């Protein structure tokens, strides 16, 4: 790859002092303008139909966009009809301004005004390319000739706005601004401003687009601040940005431009647009939200937005798309899962409810995502913390730490052998088959009675290795007495090392869960869990399950 064939095509401003570098984030949301229905639509393999554009327009209104570029009405009949449908059927909400795009060419400007006749409020966005490359290679015109194209367009737009019925505002873009000398771009924009004569009550939009990304984001921010400080009638100007994503830094371009004086952003959902796309409205808005700045856009029902977008555009939202992708909150790593699980517990105990959970910059529930299905995802890389978290939060089982570790190894082993992710229901099935209320291969305890005298006596009825048995023993508690009865009847040697219990409110067939851990003379441990409406019998079932796991363990060793 020959790097010598490339050289920078941008023009840094000739100054070295910038104020924006001392800011850490915007203190308020910009004016948002969606260009999904124009810039985004023209970039689709199959542009949207009239009906699809109407549904997309409603989606954008529901999200909260107050400015929506609805098309290039001179480009096609569908674009023209869509605009007329919005106006004639009164489909534009009172607080929404539509925007249309036109080149600085007379017949296109006239067709545009025909399309927006009677619009309640519309921005006429006119533009011409000003970059050095386009001047020299495409138009073969001088700076003065390029400037005159812009001024002729401005004069005609102003004239027609007085001849046609409607409420019109104006926007001008020096297209390919990033490849234009800043002083020339300023000269053209200021000449256009002088013609349009905006006022603070009826401001004009000057849009300085990243038509093609050519530089690091800070260079664009320098260009924005340089121009912002030198625009005519600045109090009557809304400075806008329209970044594309050729270098993959469209979001950074925009965020730094906002620090540098930009007040408005033209953007698309999920970064759709020409080539590598426009800047992503969702990433920008959610980045603001997690910094404590209200973006003024509502992406709380993210799954529905994704579904609608994919259906109407026939595009796919990548699994790793920030905030929206199916895997962006997924933690497969054991250490990540453990940190998230512990962070979630701390969050429950925080009276202020501040979101500080490790590895999750935003609460997935704010985007209609769930912790168990979207955050803790289990495969062979997962750990006991995440696996235990799913079992506890989804099914109500809070395993002792050492049992959680034992269970984690079983789950990871199955995932590794199958080379697949395990869903929550599959994890619960593994838990049930490995520990819960096991009645085979050796112990099936179906009754236990207690006689209270000077000491507590247990009578245990069971099937042990296929035979009906009845065992008796005393103890200092019910489970201790049952445990003594089993030891006396079987001559098994072990220590009941761990016993925990808790209520099981989210399981209608059982109200109690118990866990038993047994330590065997060879140093190994077996675990069991039991559930029952009677917490005593739940403990007995857990003990039987742990004993059965010893026999299962020995059978596996014998087969090996």
**pLDDT per residue as tens digits for the range 87-98:** 999 999 999 999
Q: Is 496's pLDDT higher than 80? A: yes
Q: Is the pLDDT of residue 273 over 80?
A: yes
- The pLDDT assigned to 197 comes to 98
Q: What is the pLDDT at residue 217?
A: 97
Enumerate residues 6+ apart whose C-beta is below 8 A from 373. Answer: 424
Of the listed ranges 150-159, 343-352, 396-405, the one predicted with least confidence? 343-352
Residue 548: CB atoms within 10 A of its CB come to 21
Q: Residue range 197-226: average pLDDT?
A: 97
3-state secondary structure of 340: helix
| pLDDT over 70 at 451, yes or no | yes
Q: What Cα–Cα distance (Å) separates residue 294 from each residue in 26, 279, 288?
A: 11, 19, 7
What is the Cα–Cα distance from 110 to 164, expressed in whole angstroms?
10
pLDDT digits (tens, 9 = 90+) for 392-416: 888 999 999 999 999 988 888 887 8
Least confident stretch, 244-258, 348-362, 370-384, 501-515 = 370-384
Q: Can you give the pLDDT at residue 352?
A: 80
Q: How confident is the model at residue 371 (pLDDT cuts 50, 70, 90)?
A: low
Using pLDDT thresholds of 50, 70 and 90, give the confidence band for residue 510. Answer: low
> Are the C-beta atoms of 471 and 462 separated by less than 8 Å?
yes
- What's the whole-number mean pLDDT along residues 472-493? 94
Mean pLDDT of 364-390: 72
Backbone angles phi, psi at 205, to 5 degrees: -95, 125
pLDDT tens-place string over residues 524-555? 999 999 999 999 999 999 999 999 999 999 99
- pLDDT over threshold 60, residue 441: yes
143: pLDDT confidence band, cut at 50, 70 and 90?
very high
pLDDT at position 322, please? Answer: 96
The residue that leads in pLDDT, 245 or 342, is: 245
Candidate ranges 135-139, 379-383, 425-429; pick with highest mean pLDDT: 135-139
Task: Say if residue 335's pLDDT is above 90.
Answer: no
Question: What's the pTM?
Answer: 0.80
Among 136-145, 247-256, 347-356, 483-492, which is the least confidently predicted range?
347-356
Round to whole Å and give the CA distance between 474 and 452.
10
Q: What DSSP string runs through 155-197?
A: HHHHHHHHHSSS-EEEEEEEESGGGS-HHHHHHHHHHHHHHH-
Residue 373, pLDDT above cutoff 80: no
User: For the stretch 178-212, what's the b/e string if a residue is b when 16 or more beta carbons lie within 10 angstroms of its beta carbon?
Assistant: bbbbbebbbbbbebbbebbebeeeebbbbbbbbbb
Give yes or no for residue 135 having a pLDDT over 80. Answer: yes
Kindly tell me if the per-residue pLDDT of 507 is higher than 70.
no
Least confident of 171-175, 198-202, 320-324, 419-423: 419-423
Band (131; pLDDT cuts 50, 70, 90): very high
| Average model confidence (pLDDT) across the chain | 93
Question: Is the per-residue pLDDT at 138 higher than 80?
Answer: yes
Tokens linked to 206: 């000057």
What mean pLDDT comes out for the span 496-516?
Answer: 85
3-state secondary structure of 244: strand
pLDDT digits (tens, 9 = 90+) for 10-62: 999 988 789 999 999 999 999 999 999 999 999 999 999 999 999 999 999 99
Distance (Å, rounded) from C-alpha 149 to C-alpha 146? 5
Percent of the chain with pLDDT over 90: 79
Residue 325 has what pLDDT? 93
User: What integer is the mean pLDDT of 339-365?
Assistant: 85
């Amino acid at each position: 790859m020959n790097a010598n064939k490339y050289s920078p095509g941008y023009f840094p401003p000739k100054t070295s002092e910038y104020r924006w570098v001392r800011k850490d984030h915007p203190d308020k949301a910009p004016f948002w303008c969606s260009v999904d229905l124009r810039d985004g639509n023209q970039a689709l393999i199959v542009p949207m139909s009239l009906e699809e554009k109407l549904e997309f327009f409603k989606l954008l209104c529901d999200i909260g966009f107050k400015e929506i570029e609805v098309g290039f009405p001179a480009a096609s009949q569908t674009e023209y009809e869509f605009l007329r449908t919005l106006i004639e059927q009164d489909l534009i909400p009172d607080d929404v301004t539509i925007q249309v795009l036109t080149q600085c060419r007379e017949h296109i400007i006239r067709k545009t005004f025909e399309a927006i006749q009677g619009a309640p409020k519309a921005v006429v966005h006119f533009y011409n390319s000003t970059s050095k490359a386009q001047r020299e290679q495409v138009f073969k015109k001088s700076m003065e000739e390029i400037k005159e194209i812009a001024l002729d367009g401005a004069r005609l737009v102003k004239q027609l706005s007085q001849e046609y019925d409607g409420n019109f505002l104006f926007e001008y873009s020096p297209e390919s601004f990033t490849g234009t000398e800043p002083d020339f771009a300023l000269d053209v924009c200021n000449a256009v401003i002088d013609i349009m004569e905006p006022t603070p009550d009826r401001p004009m939009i000057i849009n300085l687009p990243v038509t093609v990304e050519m530089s690091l984001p800070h260079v664009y921010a320098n260009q924005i601040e340089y121009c912002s400080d030198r625009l005519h009638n600045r109090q009557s100007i809304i400075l806008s940005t329209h970044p594309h994503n050729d270098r993959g830094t469209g979001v950074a371009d925009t965020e730094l431009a906002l620090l540098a004086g930009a007040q408005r952003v033209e953007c698309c959902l999920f970064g759709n647009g020409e080539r590598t796309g426009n800047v992503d409205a969702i990433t920008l808005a959610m980045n603001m939200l997690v910094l404590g700045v209200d973006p003024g856009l509502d992406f709380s029902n993210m799954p529905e937005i994704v579904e609608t977008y994919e259906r109407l555009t026939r595009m796919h939202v990548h699994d790793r798309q920030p905030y929206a992708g199916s895997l962006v909150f997924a933690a497969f790593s054991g250490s990540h899962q453990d940190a998230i699980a512990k962070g979630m517990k701390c969050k429950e105990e925080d009276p202020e409810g501040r979101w500080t959970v490790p590895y999750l910059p935003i609460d997935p529930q704010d985007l209609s995502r769930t912790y168990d299905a979207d955050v803790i995802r289990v495969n062979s890389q997962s750990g006991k913390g995440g696996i235990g978290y799913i079992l506890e939060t989804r099914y109500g089982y809070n395993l002792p730490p050492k049992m959680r570790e034992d269970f984690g190894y079983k789950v990871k082993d199955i995932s590794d052998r199958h080379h697949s992710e395990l869903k929550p229901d599959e994890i619960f099935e593994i838990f049930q088959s490995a520990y819960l209320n096991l009645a085979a291969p050796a112990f099936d305890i179906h009754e236990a009675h207690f006689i209270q005298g000077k000491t507590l006596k247990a009578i245990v009825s069971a099937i042990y290795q296929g035979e009906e048995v009845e065992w008796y023993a005393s103890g200092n508690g019910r489970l201790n007495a049952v445990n003594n009865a089993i030891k006396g009847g079987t001559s098994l040697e072990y220590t009941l090392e761990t016993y925990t219990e808790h209520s099981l409110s989210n399981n209608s067939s059982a109200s109690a869960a118990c866990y038993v851990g047994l330590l065997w003379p060879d140093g190994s441990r077996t675990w069991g869990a039991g559930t029952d409406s009677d917490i005593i019998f739940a403990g007995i079932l857990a003990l039987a399950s742990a004993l059965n796991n010893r026999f299962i363990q020995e059978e596996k060793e014998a087969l090996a």
